[in-house]
Structure 1
């Protein structure tokens, strides 16, 4: 039997359902791909087309840094899901607690 007069518990954490983790993961995946392309598969012609900048490498590193920021943000400031107030809890169906 539950006690409906108890004080609400501490807020729960949202964990993996936090969009910051998902966005950070996607930035990390694309950042790794672009960094690998920039380090190993960029030709001199590609660099010449980009005004002398290895754009894949720098974009990949920027995306990895962005992924790190999103990860730190989600880790250091986790979302708190407040517990429902006792008056917001649904009433149990008739006969469950002995009430008819």
Structure 2
């Protein structure tokens, strides 16, 4: 029976979550320091703040998904006869 190992940091869901989280942090900070004139342009909605929060929630869901259902890859000898 082959040994199994989790993909860990090489799981694409972790990479996607990290990128979205970085953008989410930037947008959230921009939303917090937004001037009222910028908020008024968006019909009174602080779209940077809400967009940043949504991205952070999305990133948290992706991380939870990667932690709860990790990708398992088999680890073992490579069969050289199949090449």
1:89 aligned to 72, 79, 82, which one?
79
Runs of 4 or more above 6 Å deviation: none
The structure in which a higher percent of residues are strand is: 2
CA distance in 2, matches of 1:83, 1:75: 20
Whether 1:61 and 2:53 are equivalent positions in the alignment is yes
Report how many residues are paired: 81
Whether 1:44 and 2:44 are equivalent positions in the alignment is no
**TM-align CA RMSD:** 1.7
Task: Name the SS for the 2:3 alignment partner.
Answer: coil
The structure with the larger Rg is 1
The structure in which a higher percent of residues are helix is: 2
Post-superposition shift, 1:78? Answer: 0.4
Structure 2, unpaired ranges of 5+: none
Post-superposition shift, 1:10? Answer: 3.5
Residue 65 of structure 2 corresponds to which residue in structure 1? 73
Structure 1, unpaired ranges of 5+: 1-7, 92-100
